[in-house]
Structure 1
Amino acid sequence: MSDNTAEKKGGGTKARKKGGPIDTIQNIILVLGFGLLLGSILLPPAFRDTMSAIVNIIVSPINSTMPFYIAVLIIVIIVTVFSTIIQKYTMDWELSRRVMLKNRAFQKEYREAQLSGDKKRLKKLEEERLSMMEEQAEMSKQQLKPMGFIVFVSIPLFWWAYWWLMQPAQAGMTMVFPLIGTVRLVDGFLLFPYWVWWSLLCSLAVSSVVRKALNTGVVTS
């Protein structure tokens, strides 16, 4: 009963917010973000080069005062803090927690019904699965909106890093990786260049710290 009451209250809150200025801004940035992603893939290289040159004007104060790999770390910290704050205030984490807990309980009960061969119980659970899909769809929509913000920032930075390292003056830039040694950042390893692996490692480490510091995420225990 308490879950249903919370759901109704949560649904009412969401219903009042829909169509408001914040929701409109989120939708615009979502469209721009994924439009930028598609444009960077489908449009001629001149589009990416122009975008990267514009980004270079913004990030050059950071990049010009420290090694590239440290600049990447600083940029990752900025982007991660930015995206985590957006996720914190655009997503209903209580809904996400509730859906995850329900799914966990449902899967456990469904397995037990299968093992016991209880067809009546399985039929009831199948009906319950349909009712759960609405909440799951709402959670998926909420997860999609912050992606627009994240893509809007991360895609230009990704292409800037690629563009910058492809410049003749930077082509030989190296970095010392643990257990590997000195490598060129533009050389490939398991389908990706080393600079991409470095940015991913930075992102994973920073994201964990920032999420904990800002208390963002789903706690299910």
Structure 2
Amino acid sequence: MSKVERKVRGLVAEDEEMRGAIETVLDNADDGEVKWVDVRDELTSGQWGRLIEKGVLVDGDAGFALADREGIEAGLESADESGGSGGSGSDAETPEETSWSKWDKLAGLVTVGFFVGYAWAPVRSVIAGAVDLVFGPLAEIVPFYVVIMVVALATGLYSTLLRAGIMDMEKMGQYQDRMKEIQQRRKEAKERDDQEALDRIQDEQMEAMGDQLGMFKEQFRPMVWIMFLTIPAFLWMYWVVGYRGSEAHYELGEIVVPIAGQPLAWTDPLLGPIQIWIVWYFLCSMAFTQIIQKSLNIQMSPTST
């Protein structure tokens, strides 16, 4: 089912008088275009505006063009088959599928390579040595807990900016709106015990399964870039504290943890097997991320349409 067909079904289901308005527009469309002056005696301005708002009519050369004549006619036919009952078509916007650029794919490939550094010392040493050029001088002059705070601040800042810049919150909202709208119509059809409507909604749900993949791609795209920058920083901290019992590369000292009651080394476990430096990093990262989002007034939740 095309987007235009679904919108026409939704318009007719919402207001039966829209059927006549759409038929009038089809009858008066000359070479696929229609002007307001040609139909104003038979349509209200509200109906005309509704057709434009929903994308049934789009900008043309001399007036407004039919977005898809076949789709419009199919929408009217499917609305006839449903008997005009409520919930016969989805009125929610169907978002365009997100496509990854070659740079997104390259960043994903390199990120997978970075994961090798957690298990293979040569890769870890190369990556950590490069990052050490940035954070090494800082580690020599301030305590290690301050270094971790700086790393957490940096990762929180670019993570927030990348998510805000790359992920389309409006598109995410469209995905969620469409799924919620389908679920609502399914609930209403069950209450009416309308099996035909349930069958149609079931088909639409199967068609909308692609939305789940679209949402995943939309969410994962900024995550690739975030991991591309964060994994090297994390590998550097592994390298600094001494990975799996190896010698630390800086004098780290000890840290006093209130719940432990005594000074502990940064590699001592705090929450189960999780070492202290990892816990401290995540606490700092979550705190700085919230502060950055509030300070820059960046919206991280999908925008409903």
Give the TM-score normalised by the residue count of structure 1.
Answer: 0.78
User: Are 2:240 and 2:249, in contact at CA under 8 Å, matched by a contact in 1?
Assistant: no
Residues 25-70 of structure 1 show CA distances to partners (whole Å, capped at 9, x for unaligned) of 2222222122222x2245x322212321221122113322321112
Q: What's 1:80 paired with?
A: 156
Residues 114 and 41 of structure 1: CA distance in aligned 2, closer, same or farther (over 3 Å):
farther
Structure 2 CA distance, aligned partners of 1:116 and 1:7? 25
Q: Is 1:125 the counterpart of 2:201 in the alignment?
A: yes
Q: What's 1:187 paired with?
A: 268
Q: Any residues of structure 2 matched to 1:136-215 within 5 Å, and which?
A: 136-166=212-242, 167-168=247-248, 173-181=253-261, 182-188=263-269, 189-212=271-294, 213-215=296-298
1:161 Cα offset (Å):
0.7
Task: Report SS of the residue matched to 2:256.
Answer: strand
User: Are 2:155 and 2:230, in contact at CA under 8 Å, matched by a contact in 1?
Assistant: yes
Gaps of 5+ in 1: none
**Higher RCO, 1 vs 2 (CA within 8 Å, ≥6 residues apart):** 1
1:183 Cα offset (Å):
2.9
Structure 2 CA distance, aligned partners of 1:103 and 1:70? 45
Gaps of 5+ in 2: 1-6, 8-52, 57-91
Indicate the structure with greater helix content: 1
The aligned amino acid for 2:117 is S
User: Are 2:266 and 2:277, in contact at CA under 8 Å, matched by a contact in 1?
Assistant: yes
Structure 2 CA distance, aligned partners of 1:7 and 1:172? 55
Give the TM-score normalised by the residue count of structure 2.
Answer: 0.58
Q: What's 1:89 paired with?
A: 165
Q: Is 1:32 the counterpart of 2:114 in the alignment?
A: no
Q: Larger Rg: 1 or 2?
A: 2
